[in-house]
Copies of this chain bind each other. A is one copy, B any other.
Amino acid sequence: MGSALAVAAASHEANDVTLIGSPLDSEIVDSINRERWHPTLKVNITDRITCLAQQDLSASLMDGANIIVIGVSSPGVSWATAKINKFEARPDCIALVTKGLVATDADSPPLTYADALSDSIDSKLLLGIGGPCIARELALGMPTFVMFAARDTELATRVRGCFQTDAYRISVHPDFIGLEACAALKNFFCIGVSAMLGAWQIENQTAKNPVAALFNQAVVEMDLLSNWIRAATETPEERQRRAGRSHVAFDLPGMGDLHVTVGGGRNSRLGTLLGQGNRLSEIVAGPMQGITVEGLDTGRQLLPGLKAALDCGSLSRESIPLTLAILDSVQNDSPFVFDFQSYAVSA
């Protein structure tokens, strides 16, 4: 996704774009510098993008950087922030493409990266990006809508001009933490919705009603959980700016991104396999060996705070049946089963 955003940025003549590989990306860097070919995105890369290995990141490059996009996977985030912090220069904006939640020690909701990284990155600089966006499609110029958000909405509005293209259309949302929470949660919920792709068949074709019913349920629960997560760290200023309950889950970072996530990618593949009756232990030892599934970690980070919230009654079990079904399946190493009967019980 970092590379795809570099492509969008490079389409603006005014932008000078440098793409820097992590220690795991040396093949990609070599391939781009040799033949302008991105081997994982499978697209040609314009020569307007300078491509460097991480050891070539220099003080002068950092001095000139207005915007830094961090596009590493979850385990690489602390590496990336440490790398940036070794230099004195600070950019105007750091966009964090990596999405996830971090459980707290206390019995409170998990933190989004935006809050969890506040020790290593000035959170006023952080930009959140949410919405339906498969990286390869962005790099190929397929159109989509996304949302930017930041602690300071002005920052998001200023920065979008550097990335927006005719196809990559950006609006700005006031709920930064809600957007970050949805961007992480959609991977988690994708597992449960995609389980329906494996669970219900008619003559070897996937039944569509169960998928749509749990897609809907996922968005409704994402709304609940993202509001719960945001409320834990929101400042009074931010609360005022939202002017009421945020419904970012019912927009591009929630509903829109979940739509594209179900039916493609690792989270969806895991969910489908769980829905077909496989156990997590069988899947990670077999067809998905060595593959990181981000929604799994999001679920694990959700668990301690969620248990506490259920115990004290600030969330009810009845309001999050899909959340609990996904957690049950991955915690108890059992096939994914959703109890439709527990929903909409007659009075």
Contact = CB atoms under 8 A, between A and B. Distances in A.
Contact of A145 (B134, B259, B344): B344
Contacts of A51: none
A175 interface: no
Nearest to A202: B140
Nearest to A252: B216
Interface string A186-211: 00000000000000101000011111
Contacts of A346: 160-161, 164, 170
Most buried by B among A132, A157, A170, A208: A208
A59 interface: no
Most buried by B among A207, A213, A251, A264: A213
Contact of A215 (B134, B211, B256, B343): B256
A209 B260 contact: yes
A209 B138 contact: yes
A89 interface: no
Contacts of A144: 209-210, 212-213, 340
A216 B186 CA distance: 14
A313 to B, nearest CB: 22
Contact of A133 (B134, B167, B209, B247): B209
B142 A216 contact: no
Contacts of A211: 259-260
Nearest to A338: B143
A256 B216 contact: yes
Contacts of A209: 132-134, 137-138, 142-144, 260
Interface residues of A, number: 52
A347 interface: yes
B134 A208 contact: yes
A3 interface: no
A233 to B, nearest CB: 25
A169 interface: yes
B169 A344 contact: yes
Contacts of A200: 142-143
Nearest to A157: B347
B169 A340 contact: yes
A43 to B, nearest CB: 10
Given A216-B132, A264-B208, A145 B252 contact: no
Given A142-B202, A202-B137, A210-B142, A259 B170 contact: no
Given A134-B208, A220-B251, A167 B257 contact: no
A260 B209 CA distance: 6
A302 interface: no
Interface string A227-266: 0000000000000000000010011100111011001100
Given A208-B260, A208-B263, A208-B264, 14 more contacts: A131-B216, A132-B209, A133-B209, A137-B209, A140-B207, A144-B209, A144-B340, A161-B346, A169-B213, A212-B256, A212-B259, A219-B250, A219-B255, A250-B255
Interface of A: 131-134, 136-138, 140, 142-145, 157, 160-161, 164, 166-167, 169-171, 200, 202, 207-213, 215-217, 219-220, 247, 250-252, 255-257, 259-260, 263-264, 340-341, 343-344, 346-347
